[in-house]
A and B are shown apart, each in its own frame.
Chain A
Amino acid sequence: MNEARILSEQETAEILAAADHYPDKSAASVEALKIVQKYRGWVSDDALKSVAGLLKMSPDELDGVATFYNLIFRKPVGENVILCCDSVSCWMLGADRIRERLSERLGIGLGETTADGRYTLLPIVCLGACDRAPVLMVGEELYEDVDESKIDELLKRYGEAWTNR
């Protein structure tokens, strides 16, 4: 809890640098939340309050912004967030099957995190790689033309999840 109460010097510096790009500090709200998320994985209530203080916003106001955006996590997520595109071109080329295979391998459904905290599986809208459908994003990395072997490769790279099945 303690480390969540106050932002690190690094976080504070990055947030203030982002805020410097705007005449009004609150314009950096989304970027500030993403900076916190980069270091902590998600945005806790305490972290949110500190950011709000830094940007001269009320915590409620900032939370209203935070909850509007899909990529701001207000609950803990796994070390590796897997985003599965479910939009039209990926859907057409078998995104459902890919997601089911991932669910089986990880032992979790969409919106869930593996027991070992290694993976979270989330749906995402079109990732702008429709010509290489179906696609996934793991962390900041795009996986294109995904099939069984790409799933193997992915799990090898980030580690097999511990499942109690």
Chain B
Amino acid sequence: MDKPLTQNIKPDLSAVTLDDYRRTGGYEGWAKALKDMAPMDVIEAVKDAGLRGRGGAGFPTGVKWSLVPQGESAGQKYVVVNADEMEPGTFKDRLLMEADPHQLIEGVAIAAYAVQADTAYIFLRGEYHLSARRLEQALAEARSAGYLGKNILGSGFDLEIHLHTSAGRYICGEETALLNSLEGKRAIPRAKPPYPQTSGLWGRPTVVNNVETLCNVPHIIRNGVDWYRGLGRGEDAGTKLFGVSGRVKKPGLWELPMGTPVRVLIEECAGGMRDGYTLRGFLPGGGSTDFLLPEHLDLPMDFGAMMKAGSRLGTGTMVVLDDRTCPVRMVLNLERFFAQESCGWCTPCRDGLPWVVELLEGLVAGRGRPEDLDLLEQLARLMGPGNTFCALAPGAAAPLQSALKYFRPDFERYLKPASSARVA
């Protein structure tokens, strides 16, 4: 089975050097794009390959690139890498940056050529110190080997990639908040439209892509569209990093074909639940996705299938809920995170989230009232899609509304007198 994203990664997770990377065809995609392909050909290839964004929303990458204005009059453009990975339960981009930084750099370079941007920024979360060191090292190697800089490989194309390290706020991962942050402002999301593809960084056309998304690109260009489409097992193309955390035997991260059933990930890769624990549910793609149940284990890990089941593939890193962890307290932990990380711009999020936290705290402390559960449901609806400036609030609503749906008796148990101590 082909595992393009992790094929070079060493067992000790030390960084793949430029020589290692070139040995398995590294930078061949970059050379091929520059020498044999027009920018439009690259965009078409990525579109035809069916690559969808790995940052959580699954937007088709080639389509995103095709929305950037082309031609002489388009002026300054940018590519920005979203490396702000901070969604609770998500740990995939860190591996890609630490262990194979050249793969990301090649992906950024090809994306920049496709949209004809001469400057790119990698927006990295501040706590990823090791990623920062390894990316700087790899960027220096790529510059001295002539893969970045002026007139790259004699093509006449110029590109510089800068690393920007942030300082810790989840909202910076939202792509328009990220652009504000990169400009040195407070990270508040922008109104959309206009979308970054037409008006992004300093008002210029900008492509924002997730780390893992861009890591796919060199392989598509080098090995071709048909090969890439053939990697998927279901409706989506390619492979993806999937992870499991929680009380499984072997928590970790694996590269699997898109469309692999959830069961393979949880039961085979992660070895199933630890002895003495049973599976009650799981968040399929990080803290901002809806809970699914053991009955969903045979679903393929595709964007559409997860959506149809009432959740999202999100980041593809799952958090497992076992039978000895209280789902109400788990949701409280998540909502505290979202309340703390809200940027405070819109009312349902700024006021709704602290209220949700207060109600849940009251409930687990034995002070809950029966009407609180309805109130929680209403608040989850209020924070839902369409009512807020960005997707943080709908993301916060997801685990809450699904827990109320699937684990209602756990909430109700806290309403009975003197029972709150039972489920510690």
Contacts and interface: CB of A to CB of B under 8 A. Distances in A.
Interface residues of B, number: 51
Contacts of B168: 69-71, 124-125
A87 B184 contact: no
B298 interface: no
Interface string A139-160: 0111000000000000000000
Contact of B247 (A93, A124, A127): A93
A128 B128 contact: yes
Contact of A131 (B166, B181, B245, B287): B245
A92 B86 contact: no
Contacts of B167: 30, 33-34, 69-72
B91 A128 contact: yes
A140 B129 contact: yes
A138 to B, nearest CB: 11
B165 A31 contact: yes
Given A30-B181, A31-B165, A71 B246 contact: no
Contacts of A91: 330, 333
A97 B316 CA distance: 28
A86 B287 CA distance: 13
A30 B166 contact: yes
Contacts, number: 132
A70 B130 CA distance: 19
A13 interface: no
Contact of B333 (A34, A83, A87): A87
Contacts of A141: 129
A132 interface: yes
Contacts of A22: 184
B147 interface: no
Interface string B123-161: 001111110000000000000000000000000000000
Interface of A: 21-24, 26-31, 33-34, 55, 57, 64-65, 68-72, 83, 86-89, 91-93, 124-133, 137, 140-142
Interface of B: 85-91, 93-94, 121, 125-130, 162, 164-170, 181-187, 202, 243-247, 251-253, 283, 287, 317, 319, 325, 330, 333-334, 337, 340-341
Given A92-B319, A125-B341, A130-B89, 19 more contacts: A30-B184, A31-B165, A34-B167, A55-B184, A57-B184, A65-B186, A69-B167, A70-B167, A83-B127, A87-B333, A88-B333, A125-B86, A125-B168, A126-B89, A128-B85, A130-B243, A130-B319, A131-B91, A137-B127
